[in-house]
Structure 1
Amino acid sequence: MLAERVRSAPPWSGLPVAGAEYRNLVLAGAGGPERLTAAADLAVRIAGYDEYPMVYPRRIELVRAGADWRVEREEAASGPPAPWDFGPLRSAPGAHCLVLGPAAGPDPAELVAVGDRAVPAVTEVWGGDWPGRLLLERPATGEQFARLLEGDPAGWTGMAAVTVAAAGAPWHTPADRVLVNPEAYRRLSDFGRQVVVTHEATHVATRADTRAWTPLWLSEGIADWTAYRDSGRSPRQIAPELARDVADGKLPTALPADQDFTAGATGISQAYEQAWLACELIAREHGPGRLVALYRAVGAADGQGEDRERRTDRLLRRELGVGLDDFTRLWLEQVAALKG
């Protein structure tokens, strides 16, 4: 097959690749028998991390090289670019993580250390039913970060990291890697960086228990709760934007809606802080084990035939003995208490 005769200097050199191949070649002439153009899927798997390969639709130009064909030029055909489209990469392994970044970029040692601290902290809460390893990708710029997410750079300015699935992986594949926004990450304190990466590592660890019907106040709140656990910080230190709103008399009337967590949304900081406070309330009143059990119960629930609010109410009653309305009332009391 022609796909087996395509040779190229791998642009992903510097990465621990377990396998790479071009699939589904569709050929077209390119002005002579020695040249071809092709559409193809490039499948690349990171050793030790990818259950499924990253798959990138590519446009390639081929030149005959004896009995084989050599890739002369390659570019993205659709979807997000590959990380190596921005330039040469390097990898840095840690005890519990692997950091991928530009070969000419900053020393990855700091991010490796943050990832290595995040994984055990998450495992302490969620147990060993996840791979217990973290793949961190840090591009060179915020613009590259947004391009990898196929988003508007302006909308991602304030997001320091996001958990994503491997490009082209099957639709049901849980998000399994963390994409770091280098510009937003750089602005954080050492403590803030640890919180961000531990938050995202929690998403990786809990993806098997997360469903489309899981309220974002619960999934984002529990990730922040895991990240801030045992930090020794007060609620007002963890939720400063919300505390300022409360001091100004601006109190929420309901738990944050999913759209409140959209990148670039007005009040997104307050939404995250409100979600953390909701999960902190559950852990304080019922114990961390009940918070984890509630999260898993929501994920295990049948997603058919019951609207999300009714399902959340039923599971709150079953796991905590309190319905959604009463829980919201108790949470609002905690919000009001931030006034001091």
Structure 2
Amino acid sequence: MTDHRAELTGLLAERARALAAGLSATPVELAYRNLVLGPGGGPDRLTGTAELTVRVAGYDEYPVVHPRRLALLRGGDGWRVEREEGTGGPAPLWDLGTVRAAGGEHCLVLGLADGPDPARLAAVADRAVPAVTALWGSAWAGRLLLELPATEEQFGRLLDAGPAGWGGMAAVTTAAPGAPWHTPADRVLVNPGAYEGLSDFGRQVVTTHEAVHVATRADTRAWTPLWLSEGVADWTGYRDSGRSPRQIAPELARDVAAGKVPSALPADRDFTAGAAGIAQAYEQSWLACELIARRYGPQRLVDFYRAVGAAGAGTGRDERTDRVLRDELGLGLADFTELWTAEVRRLAG
């Protein structure tokens, strides 16, 4: 097979420039790398694989990597890309349609031309970022990159998940593929169906919740219990809202009124998309963090969260959480669970 690598590398460089020009409202840098060629079934056809790298300036420290499959055809004017498609993993937004962008003071929203107005989401995100910084400090980037597809099916493609993996989910924070684990390229992906069905207040809570996940990425580890990471995100979202516990935790309040009182903090599996009782798991987690913030102060909640992340591996999760609770708050996991259960029971009143 004749080596056309130099010519095709130039072709892909020009293709990347054209794609970037099509995203002119977005500060994006694109490039193809690691081109591997193979036979295409004829002298004027080749197949290829490559990695398309994308870095949104000001938001991504490292590029996001999208594996691509190429069908290449040679005509009278040289080689061209006959077809390009992903080879697995989350789809980039521009695979779904024409991208349009809306920038805010603290955010950039990438949407689709046939989808909801990204400027509306940018306004919500611009309120979320200062609220998160006020509690969690300025050590994080202080900005959000959000992607807003046009349909729920497209939301699933951005997540690389079927409906069972995102049903009822209004938004999710993901680490885009290809970036090092310690500096992930975070994106807040918004499900237009679920998100648009929320009230203005609900949209603000959801967006602030996701902003907390971005802000606390450096403090969150595999051993951080989901009741804590989801609880602090919800607690920050509802902070200073003036809503009562029964308004914030209506599903849990109904369960308690019916005599169903949980005896343990939510397990990680309780937060699985589509799981029975997932709403109650989030509400229970909010209440646990509300208990810490009210009893010890918001800064102690922040300190406790960071201490859990810094605790290191080596023992079981409950043992580690128990140790950090004793160090930070002066009581163990069993005593904290007892206090929390008492708070849950008060919802019945």
- TM-score by length of structure 2 reads 0.93
Out of 285, 301, 309, which is 2:318 matched to? 309
Letter in 2 for 1:328: T
Tell me whether 1:107 sits opposite 2:117 in the alignment.
yes
Tell me whether 1:180 sits opposite 2:190 in the alignment.
yes
How far is the alpha carbon of 1:67 from its aligned partner? 8.7
Counterparts of 2:339 and 2:146, CA distance in 1 = 37
Aligned residue in 2 for 1:278 = 288
Aligned residue in 2 for 1:60 = 70
The 5-angstrom pairing of residues 151-300 of structure 1 reads 151-174=161-184, 176-300=186-310
Identity %: 70
Aligned residue in 2 for 1:25 = 35
Mark the CA change 1:59 to 1:41 in structure 2 (over 3 Å): closer, same or farther. Answer: same
How far is the alpha carbon of 1:190 from its aligned partner? 0.4
Paired residues of 1:40 and 1:59 also in contact (CA < 8 A): yes
Paired residues of 1:102 and 1:139 also in contact (CA < 8 A): yes
How far is the alpha carbon of 1:155 from its aligned partner? 3.7
Tell me whether 1:127 sits opposite 2:102 in the alignment.
no
| Structure 2 counterpart SS, 1:43 | strand
Aligned residues: 339
Unaligned runs of 5+ in 2: 1-5
Mark the CA change 1:255 to 1:175 in structure 2 (over 3 Å): closer, same or farther. Answer: farther
What whole-Å deviation, never above 9, does each CA across 1:219-263 have from its counterpart, x for those lacking one? 000000000000010000000000010111111010000000111
Counterparts of 2:299 and 2:274, CA distance in 1 = 33
Paired residues of 1:18 and 1:47 also in contact (CA < 8 A): yes
How far is the alpha carbon of 1:3 from its aligned partner? 2.4
Out of 151, 156, 159, which is 1:149 matched to? 159
Paired residues of 1:39 and 1:60 also in contact (CA < 8 A): yes
* Deviates further, 13-22 or 166-175: 166-175
Runs of 4+ in structure 1 over 6 Å off: 65-68
Counterparts of 1:315 and 1:67, CA distance in 2 = 67
Mark the CA change 1:199 to 1:87 in structure 2 (over 3 Å): closer, same or farther. Answer: same
Letter in 2 for 1:306: T
Counterparts of 1:116 and 1:279, CA distance in 2 = 25
* Deviates further, 251-260 or 167-176: 167-176
Counterparts of 1:102 and 1:45, CA distance in 2 = 18
Paired residues of 2:33 and 2:51 also in contact (CA < 8 A): yes
Tell me whether 1:71 sits opposite 2:77 in the alignment.
no
| Structure 1 counterpart SS, 2:22 | coil
Mark the CA change 1:36 to 1:333 in structure 2 (over 3 Å): closer, same or farther. Answer: same
* Deviates further, 185-194 or 56-65: 56-65
How far is the alpha carbon of 1:168 from its aligned partner? 2.6
What whole-Å deviation, never above 9, does each CA across 1:144-172 have from its counterpart, x for those lacking one? 11122121214412100000012232344
Letter in 2 for 1:319: E
Counterparts of 2:324 and 2:76, CA distance in 1 = 66
- TM-score by length of structure 1 reads 0.95
How far is the alpha carbon of 1:87 from its aligned partner? 1.1
* Deviates further, 328-337 or 163-172: 163-172
* Deviates further, 205-214 or 150-159: 150-159
| Structure 2 counterpart SS, 1:91 | strand
Unaligned runs of 5+ in 1: none
Counterparts of 1:13 and 1:278, CA distance in 2 = 47
Paired residues of 2:292 and 2:298 also in contact (CA < 8 A): yes
What whole-Å deviation, never above 9, does each CA across 1:165-204 have from its counterpart, x for those lacking one? 1223234444621000110001100000000000000000
How far is the alpha carbon of 1:85 from its aligned partner? 1.1
Paired residues of 1:11 and 1:88 also in contact (CA < 8 A): no
How far is the alpha carbon of 1:31 from its aligned partner? 4.2
Tell me whether 1:94 sits opposite 2:104 in the alignment.
yes
Out of 3, 15, 19, which is 2:9 matched to? 3
Aligned CA RMSD, in angstroms, stands at: 1.7
Counterparts of 1:103 and 1:150, CA distance in 2 = 21
Tell me whether 1:138 sits opposite 2:138 in the alignment.
no
Aligned residue in 2 for 1:325 = 334
Counterparts of 1:178 and 1:82, CA distance in 2 = 13
Counterparts of 2:184 and 2:334, CA distance in 1 = 31
